[in-house]
Amino acid sequence: GENVEQHPSTLSVQEGDSAVIKCTYSDSASNYFPWYKQELGKGPQLIIDIRSNVGEKKDQRIAVTLNKTAKHFSLHITETQPEDSAVYFCAASMGITGGGNKLTFGTGTQLKVEL
Amino acid sequence: GAVVSQHPSWVICKSGTSVKIECRSLDFQATTMFWYRQFPKQSLMLMATSNEGSKATYEQGVEKDKFLINHASLTLSTLTVTSAHPEDSSFYICSGKRGGSYNEQFFGPGTRLTVL
Q: Taking CB atoms and an 8 Å cutoff, what residues of chain A touch B32? A: 101
A23 touches chain B (CB under 8 A): no
Question: By CA distance, what is A88's nearest residue in B?
Answer: B43
- Nearest-neighbour CA in chain B from A81: distance (Å): 22
Q: Taking CB atoms and an 8 Å cutoff, what residues of chain A touch B57? A: 100
> B103 and A103: CB-CB below 8 Å?
yes
DSSP assigned state of B87: G
Residue type, A10: T
Q: What confidence tier does A97 reach under pLDDT thresholds 50, 70, 90? A: low
Per the model's pLDDT, the better-predicted residue between B97 and B67 turns out to be B67
Mean pLDDT of B74-88: 95
Cα A93 versus chain centre, distance: 13
> A105 and B43: CB-CB below 8 Å?
yes
Per the model's pLDDT, the better-predicted residue between B53 and B23 turns out to be B23
Q: Which residues of B lie closer than 8 Å to A, measured between beta carbons?
A: 4, 6, 32, 34, 42-44, 46, 49, 57, 93, 95, 97, 100-110, 112
> A105 and B103: CB-CB below 8 Å?
no
CA dist A111 and B66 (Å) reads 35
Model pLDDT, residue A99: 47
> A34 and B112: CB-CB below 8 Å?
no
Model pLDDT, residue B103: 72
Mean pLDDT of A9-28: 97
CB A56 within 8 A of CB A63: yes
> A46 and B112: CB-CB below 8 Å?
no
Q: A44-68 b/e with 16+ CB inside 10 Å = b?
A: bebbbbbebeeeeeeeeebbbbbee
Model pLDDT, residue B17: 97
**Given a cut of 80, is residue A98 above it in pLDDT?**
no
CA dist B82 and B61 (Å) reads 16
Which candidate, A51, A29, A44, places its Cα nearest to that of A89? A44
Mean pLDDT of A35-57: 93
